[in-house]
Homo-oligomer: A and B are copies of this chain.
Amino acid sequence: MKVSDKCELCAGPAGTLLWKHELVRVVLVDDPNYPGFCRVIWTEHIKEMTDLPPPRRAFLMAAVFGVEQALREVLKPDKINLASLGNMVPHLHWHVIPRRIGDKSFPNAIWGKAENEGQPEPLSKEQIAALKKSIEKYCSVLNH
């Protein structure tokens, strides 16, 4: 399996681990402006989606959509944002971001201009536990 010594996503979980499979993991990102911001990280050090064979692309996307479904179920955001950029860390990963009207940069991308002030409540322990349970529910199909 391809691993890079210099890659922070190869080095460790890079967030609070919510779900793990041999091929992929889901972590909660520590960003106070976007509670519930998750990353879906491919285990192998691969750069682009189309570096993966189509069945593996489908597998990774099923995990991404599982996380989207769980975030919608638990947090009921106004919008979901999905992105795979990797310009700084060229190790395949997806941002799955629950957005709220009035959050820091809404309606811009979270990488764009700040529009709003104030900080949202962090997720409670109960919400994190519910999110974990919901991700397990929607991603468990990937274990079979």
Interfacial residues, chain A to chain B (CB-CB below 8 A): 47-50, 54, 57-58, 61-62, 65, 68-69, 72, 79-88, 90, 99, 106-109, 111-112
The quantity of this chain's copies bound in the complex is 2
Residue of A88, A99, A109 with highest tally of chain B CB at under 10 A: A109
Q: In the complex where A65-B50, A72-B50, A112-B111 touch, is A82 in contact with B79 (Cβ < 8 A)?
A: no
Q: In the complex, what's the smallest C-beta–C-beta distance from A62 to chain B, in angstroms?
A: 8
Chain B residue at smallest Cβ distance from A58: B58
Chain B residue at smallest Cβ distance from A97: B85
* Contact across chains for A82 and B84 when beta carbons are under 8 A apart: yes
* Contact across chains for A85 and B81 when beta carbons are under 8 A apart: yes
Compute how far the CA of A111 lies from the CA of B65 in the bound complex, rounded to whole angstroms.
23
